[in-house]
Amino acid sequence: MKFLDQAKVYVKSGAGGAGCVSFHRAKFVEFGGPDGGDGGRGGDVVVQCVDGLNTLIDYRYQQHFKAKTGVHGMGRDRAGARGADVVLKVPAGTQIFEEDGETLVADLTEVGQKVVLFQGGNGGFGNAHFKSSTNQSPRHANPGQPGIEAWIILRLKLIADAGLVGMPNAGKSTFLAATTAAKPKIADYPFTTLHPGLGVVRAVGREFVLADIPGLIEGAHEGHGLGDRFLGHVERCRVLLHLVDGTGDHAGKAYKLVREEIEAYGGDLASKPEIVALSKVDALDPATRKEQMARLKRAAKRAPLALSAASGEGVEAALTELLMIIDGARAAEAPPKVIVEDDVPVATTWRP
């Protein structure tokens, strides 16, 4: 399945059905009177978050979605049926923007969430609605209200607990493949990863979701390379694992370059907790390894991890640190537990 994280679609709610002009006609009924029914309401435009989807690829092949028009009213005081809704099914993490791409309408982060973007038009009144003592045979009815139409933008941001960032060929895909059941493309040339990937890490009897995104190069925020739009997929992560290629020219400069691109992207991404690791240490001799670790420590202003996804060195330590930060974030986000004694709440402090 191809990966698509942004789509522009046209949606329109259904128009209301028209009211009916009708008069009762029956044998031996001299003055039957008006009996035109009301029109039915038009269908709504609904966006629903469902399970089993992880891409917006369906909206590449169909961009127009229209709800059904309400059924017109009929004689004998029969009201028209309501028009059918049109439901757009999206994966968890989908954001809905107006056509300008900046005005956020809704953010669907949990399966089962549903939002009504546009309501259908109301149905028109039939002539039976207008009868009165002074107007006993009205010969007019209302048309249904028109539906609402607009272009919207669907933008998917993957939901993961931890995210991998770094330059191309920093070992992100290798780390994802070594710690999860995911099978990303791995090769010894830049930009092997063209689309974000997800995997479930199982460590210390626990599970968390890990996201891998394409590498960043200098000027990514200006559109160089694959750009920095993929950074949106790690915006929801609780922690970032920053991998720096130990076989590169200068680990410190590589770290600073990626950090500059993260800061230029914005979205509070630069303020997220970060674990720094020197990757591919199995390919370094002791002297080079010591020098690169020192460079990275000076640039990051913290002691980095020595990591090799190929040999397994440092992998367990990295996963343990990730779990500690994830657990702390989950505890902070969880609602406080209420302790009840004799049916009276006495404390609302969090107790894990």
Annotated binding residue at 169? yes
Annotated binding residue at 166? yes
Annotated binding residue at 254? no
How long, in residues, is the chain? 352
C-alpha distances (whole Å) from 209 to each of 151, 179, 182, 274 are 33, 11, 11, 16
Annotated binding residue at 54? no
Annotated binding residue at 281? yes
Annotated binding residue at 170? yes
Helix 286-300 to helix 251-265 angle (10° resolution) is: 30
Q: Characterize the bridge pairing of strands 206-212 and 197-203.
A: antiparallel
Annotated binding residue at 195? yes
In degrees, to the nearest 5, what angle opens at C-alpha 278 toward C-alphas 275 and 279? 110
Annotated binding residue at 147? no
Annotated binding residue at 191? yes
Annotated binding residue at 343? no
Longest CA–CA span in the chain (Å) reads 110
Annotated binding residue at 252? no
| Nearest residue to 123 via CA among 182, 82, 89, 154 | 82
Annotated binding residue at 168? yes
Annotated binding residue at 171? yes
Please identify which residue in the block is written with the tokens 């070992």.
171
Annotated binding residue at 1? no
| Nearest residue to 93 via CA among 44, 192, 163 | 163
Annotated binding residue at 324? no
Annotated binding residue at 162? no
Contact assessment for residue 322 and residue 274, using Cβ atoms and an 8 Å cutoff: no
d(CA 39, CA 92): 36
Annotated binding residue at 192? yes
d(CA 295, CA 287): 12
Annotated binding residue at 167? yes
Annotated binding residue at 134? no
Annotated binding residue at 137? no
Annotated binding residue at 173? yes
Residues in binding site for Mg(2+): 173, 193
Residues in binding site for GTP: 166-173, 191-195, 212-215, 279-282, 308-310
Residues in binding site: 166-173, 191-195, 212-215, 279-282, 308-310
